[in-house]
Amino acid sequence: MAPVKVTKICCIGAGYVGGPTCAVIALKCPHITVNIVDLNQSRIDAWNSPDFALPIYEPGLVDVVRQARGRNLFFSTDVDKAILEADLIFVSVNTPTKKTGVGAGFAADLNYVELATRRIANVARSNKIVVEKSTVPCRTAESMRTILEANSKPNCRFDILSNPEFLAEGTAISDLFAPDRVLIGSLQTAEGVSACQSLSDVYANWVPKERILNVGLWSSELSKLAANAMLAQRISSVNALSAICEATGANIDEVSHAIGYDSRIGPKFLKASVGFGGSCFQKDILNLVYLSESLHLPEVAAYWRQVVEMNEYQKRRFSKRVVDTLFNTITGKRIAVLGFAFKADTGDTRESAAITLIKDFQSEKALVNVYDPQVTEDQIWLDLQEASPLVPLENIKKHVTISHSALEACKDAEAVVIATEWKEFKEIDWEAVYAGMNKPAFVFDGRLLVDADKLRKIGFKVTVIGRS
């Protein structure tokens, strides 16, 4: 069966994954019309804003949108029209961890995926290749297929593919331009293989063929969870070692450097930190835990759960170190938290370690000044409110102040806590920071970012993750 030549793509979901991914497809495939749709009007308005004030901050993204928008890239809330016109539809909606019901706290909430799938089934009048792009538990494609087949019209067939996205925020555009691999999972039927070829042909416009991997549907779904679990596992392993370093006088940076030289281990993803965040790692591991339990594999579930527990321990340990170092109390003391995003070069705050740290400092009745170069004030209040749902926002605002520069945040503080590795924190005028702080002035580097010796020479008392 000859593969369909894709000329119109619809992407349902204009978030951190769908937006950049499909914008890059549009850029690299000028012969394909790409419609990115979302139910959220303000998000779409931002994607369409004349001054390119896009809803997400991602280095290089504005450039991509500037070149393709209005040419073959369009953003809209008209989901049905985009579905009707497309040959290929990416489902790129959110799949947060369930908050209530069966599997609460572990399983993925597939409500958004299901609603989007039902909409495709109801609206489509011609054959569609439906591509699962959101991170979803294993066998979600099967559920999507059941919904589509049960609701399809005559002469309207659906082929399901799984095409997980491996981009990391902050480097999304370069990851999309030159991916390590593109993974496409399909049923191993003639139709499945043909649909897979259609999507492979889209990527082949800029990705070398040998980097486009075709596997079975369920291997593809599991590979996404597995990749994130393995990456997060490295960080938790290094963070576990950082606790040993702090207790023994070893230096985690040196340990990471030494083990990274082993070509079997490799140097990446061995940076100790105050804990990993982001929308994927914790969610995907908890998915894996839930899946393992459902499959009656309790030892496997416990193994992966420990990766998340180690991450929680790392955050708790760091907050405690701050309190211990500040003479066992931070009540009424002002603490500057530099960084609120879960990593540098993004405005995304999902599962950011900074949220936990600030909550811990609040419960010790400290006064917190927070500064982040990209996260909006509204987002900070939203996250802090969600972290302490029982505390009225007015009370949170009595103890937390949002600052507009690192220098302003550090003024009159007793301690500076680096929570995100923004490059600008490395380059701030630390002499001026020191001059404005109460003494002794403490710095807690949760990201192995600053030159501790240089800061000590200025007069700071510096505490670094993974060093005694």
Question: Which secondary structure element, helix H or strand E, spans residue 254, and what is its range?
Answer: helix 252-260
Q: Which is nearer to ligand UDX, 69 or 271 (CB)?
A: 271
| Site mask for ligand ADP (CB under 6 A), range 255-284, x = bound | ------------------------x-----
| DSSP 8-state symbol, 428 | S
| Site mask for ligand UDX (CB under 6 A), range 371-390, x = bound | --------------------
Rounded Cα distance between 337 and 50, Å, is 34
Question: Within 117-136, which residues bind ligand ADP (CB under 6 A)?
Answer: 134
| Inter-CA distances, 247 with 306, 327, 467, Å | 21, 19, 8
Q: Measured from the CB of residue 356, what is the shortest distance to ligand UDX in angstroms? A: 12
Rounded to 5 degrees, what angle do the CA atoms 391, 404, 415 make?
Answer: 70
Question: Is 17 known to sit in a ligand binding site?
Answer: yes
280 tagged catalytic: yes
Helix residue ranges, H only, 326-405? 353-363, 377-387, 393-399
Rounded Cα distance between 196 and 419, Å, is 42
Name which of ligand UDX, ligand ADP, none residue 280 binds, using a CB cut-off of 5 to 8 Å depending on partner kind.
ligand UDX
Question: Is 277 known to sit in a ligand binding site?
Answer: yes
Q: Which is nearer to ligand UDX, 161 or 252 (CB)?
A: 252
Contact residue for ligand ADP among 4, 16, 128, 253 (CB under 6 A): 16
326-331's contacts with Cβ under 8 Å and 24+ in sequence apart are 326/414, 326/415, 326/442, 329/364, 330/361, 330/364, 330/365, 330/366, 330/414, 330/415, 331/364, 331/365, 331/366
- Residues with Cβ within 8 Å of 418's Cβ and at least 6 positions away in sequence, in order, are 338, 339, 425, 443, 444, 445, 446, 447, 449, 450
Q: Which two tokens stand for residue 425?
A: 């924190």
Task: Note whether 315 binds ligand UDX by CB under 6 A.
Answer: no
Kindly tell me the sign of the dihedral angle through the C-alpha atoms of 188, 189, 195, 198.
positive
Question: Is 38 known to sit in a ligand binding site?
Answer: yes
Question: Is 73 known to sit in a ligand binding site?
Answer: no
Q: Measured from the CB of residue 450, what is the shortest distance to ligand ADP in angstroms? A: 30
Q: Which is nearer to ligand ADP, 349 or 403 (CB)?
A: 349
Rounded Cα distance between 7 and 155, Å, is 20
Q: Measured from the CB of residue 350, what is the shortest distance to ligand UDX in angstroms? A: 9
Question: Is 91 known to sit in a ligand binding site?
Answer: no
Question: Within 178-237, which residues bind ligand UDX (CB under 6 A)?
Answer: 228, 231, 235
Residue 448 CB coordination number (10 Å): 21
Task: Note whether 175 binds ligand ADP by CB under 6 A.
Answer: no
Q: Measured from the CB of residue 93, what is the shortest distance to ligand ADP in angstroms? A: 4
For 268, half-sphere exposure in the C-beta direction (CA atoms, 13 angstrom radius) is: 3
Q: Measured from the CB of residue 283, what is the shortest distance to ligand UDX in angstroms? A: 9
Contact residue for ligand ADP among 112, 281, 430, 442 (CB under 6 A): 112
CB 357 within 8 A of CB 340: no
Q: Which is nearer to ligand UDX, 83 or 419 (CB)?
A: 419
Rounded Cα distance between 341 and 420, Å, is 6
Name which of ligand UDX, ligand ADP, none residue 363 binds, using a CB cut-off of 5 to 8 Å depending on partner kind.
none
Question: Is 199 known to sit in a ligand binding site?
Answer: no
Q: Give the range of 66-74, 164-172, 364-372, 411-419 binding ligand UDX by CB under 6 A.
A: 164-172
- Note the residues at the interface with ligand ADP (CB under 6 A): 12-18, 37-40, 43, 79, 92-94, 112, 115-116, 134, 279
Interface contacts to ligand UDX, rule CB under 6 A? 165-169, 228, 231, 235, 269-271, 273, 276-278, 280-281, 342-343
Active-site residue set = 280
